[in-house]
Amino acid sequence: MIYNPKYLTPFILAMSVSAWSIVAIADDEKQLGGPVLTAFGAEKAGNKEGTIPAYTGEGLKIPAGFGKDPKDPYSRPDPFTNEKPLYSITAQNAAQYADKLDGLVEIFKTYPNFRMDVYPTHRSTVFPQYMLDNTLKNAKDCKSVDNDTLIENCWGGIPFPVPQNGAQVMWNHLTAFRGHAWQGYSNSYVVATNGTVSNVGGNRLWQQSPYYDPKATAPAVGKTVYWAFRADADAPTRKVGEKLVIVDPLDVKNIGRRAYQYIPGQRRVKLSPDLAYDTPSPSGGGSATMDDALAFSGALDRYDFKLVGKKEKLIMANNFKIYDRAGCDDARIVSTKNFPNPDCIRWELRRVWTVEAKLKPGFRHVYPRRMFYWDEDGYATGLAENYDAANKLYRVVSLHGVPYYTEEEGGMVAEGTFNLDLQTGVWSVQGVHGNVGAGAAKSSPKPDNFFSSEGLTGAGIR
């Protein structure tokens, strides 16, 4: 069992041979924040082997001098810089860890020189009190409706701290807490099969979530935006001046995603409704779809989401290594063919919610089946294993996040993904922070029209 039956009334929602069974909680709001569950629904206890520690609620202390360098305000020193890997997984020993790898075993079969360095697990993500308070409200008030494609009466917290089905887990990921507003800079690259590297986007970024407005006095409504995104490109040369806005409301099915682009050569802003679902990502070089952003983003209407269970899995976590300007700048991260440089990636054993998505009859997508694994400590990190029509692993998408330091009110910097196309050998990284000046930090919220066609029209002159 995942949860201690001493405190819970168990009934099995879903189970598989490889996944742990899930139990529901009789009075969710009474269990949250108690001896078993955190206020946001994760298990407090570690695992019996001690390889996953207990959650203590202690965040990371802010390093001396953090944010003081005007030329590199987003640099994030690694609090675990002196740690060494506990072990490494290679093609030679991958079978030994198959139960913690799942579909990732195929990467070792496809690329025999792939390696995973596994480090000690640190549960360092903390959250501001208002978000935890709202999560407790959601345990009683938040509902998923219309076949779980919409949520209503939800406050700015995790909608379903004790999820009862796969779609609710997906909503927890979509609305994962990364702050009310944040900004920064990142680069994106595509690495061809022969190892040729192309910078496909250097972007100044602004993001915010009105859903997490700490001043909100009522639950969110359908038009409430949970993710607003704007990217202004200044690299490479051919893309200088391009701008992109994506706005996702809670009612992403009926109100729908709003996406706008400004192309300097056209001197106009255009509505881009096709920037969703399986449209190829402009910065993915053919290795990612639009809904691969954040390992999954957008509407839930094309898939049936089954809650498979909760298990232990190796995922990228606490990836401060990719903020290391000296040891793992962008050039080193993208210096390897087929996958990111293993020297720059930190893998940890985490407890994850496992969701299987199968395409509904009558709908189309290049991924008929998908497996999602979301970290229980906030849902902002995890990975997706995406399968083709022959049920062969097609692409793997991994979020590479780090916790905000405690003094910054908690949450995650989880903006970028590594996208591995196992069928072509191409891989990409969308949003990487290894170079001076790259990264993200909390910021003051922008006015709503900043994330609009009018906002792009006013700024989009080259």
Percent of the chain with pLDDT over 70: 93
pLDDT above 60: residue 24:
no
Q: Is residue 1 domain-resident?
A: no
Residue 22 has pLDDT above 70, yes or no: no
Which is nearest to 185 in space by CA: 398, 66, 330?
Answer: 330
**Cβ distance 197 to 285 under 8 Å?**
no
User: What pLDDT shows up at residue 50?
Assistant: 97
On the CB side of 195, CA atoms within 13 Å amount to 7
pLDDT at 12: 33
Tell me the C-alpha distance between 177 and 39, whole Å. 14
Full domain range(s) for residue 117: 28-459
Q: How far apart are CA 9 and CA 28, in angstroms?
A: 11
328 is a domain residue: yes
- Does residue 141 sit within a domain? yes
pLDDT average, residue stretch 152-177 = 97
Q: How many Cβ atoms sit within 10 Å of the Cβ of residue 268?
A: 13
Nearest to 5, CA basis, from 25, 33, 28: 25
Residue pLDDT, tens place only, 248-276? 999 988 899 999 999 888 888 999 988 99
Tell me the one-letter amino acid at 62.
I
Strands 417-421 and 393-399: antiparallel
The CATH number assigned to the domain holding 251 equals 2.50.20.10
Are residues 266 and 243 in contact, defined by beta-carbon separation less than 8 angstroms?
A: no
Residue 16 above 70 pLDDT? Answer: no
**What is the rounded CA–CA span in Å between residue 425 and residue 415?**
23
Is the confidence at residue 454, as pLDDT, over 60? yes
Tally of domains in the chain: 1
Closest CA to 439 of 404, 398, 397, 411: 404
Report which secondary-structure segment, H or E, holds 405. Answer: none
Query: Are 202 and 234 a contacting pair, CB within 8 Å?
Result: yes
Nearest 5 degrees, angle CA 277-CA 278-CA 284?
A: 115
In-domain check, residue 298: yes
Write down the residue that tokens 């030994």 correspond to. Answer: 96
pLDDT digits (tens, 9 = 90+) for 92-121: 999 999 999 999 999 999 999 999 999 999
For residue 63, what pLDDT is reported?
87
Question: Taking a C-beta distance cutoff of 8 angstroms, is the pair 13, 25 a contact?
Answer: no
Tens-place pLDDT, residues 394-428: 999 999 989 999 877 789 998 899 999 999 999 99
Contact 270, 327 (CB under 8 A): no
Q: What is the enclosing helix (H) or strand (E) of 418?
A: strand 417-421
Nearest partner of 254 among 301, 296, 210, 208, judged by Cα: 301
Distance CA 433, CA 418 (A): 12
Q: Encode pLDDT of 284-333 as tens digits.
A: 989 999 999 999 999 999 999 999 999 999 999 999 999 999 999 999 99
Q: CA-to-CA distance for 187 and 172, rounded, in angstroms?
A: 27
**Does the residue 233 lie in any domain?**
yes
Position 29 scores a pLDDT of 63
The pLDDT-based confidence of 27 (bands split at 50, 70, 90) is low
389: tokens are 């029509």
The answer to whether residue 19 sits within a structural domain is no
Residue at 22 is within a domain: no
Task: Examine residue 270 and state whether it is found in any structural domain, yes or no.
Answer: yes
- CA 189/CA 168 separation, integer angstroms: 33
Average the pLDDT over 141-151 and give the result.
94
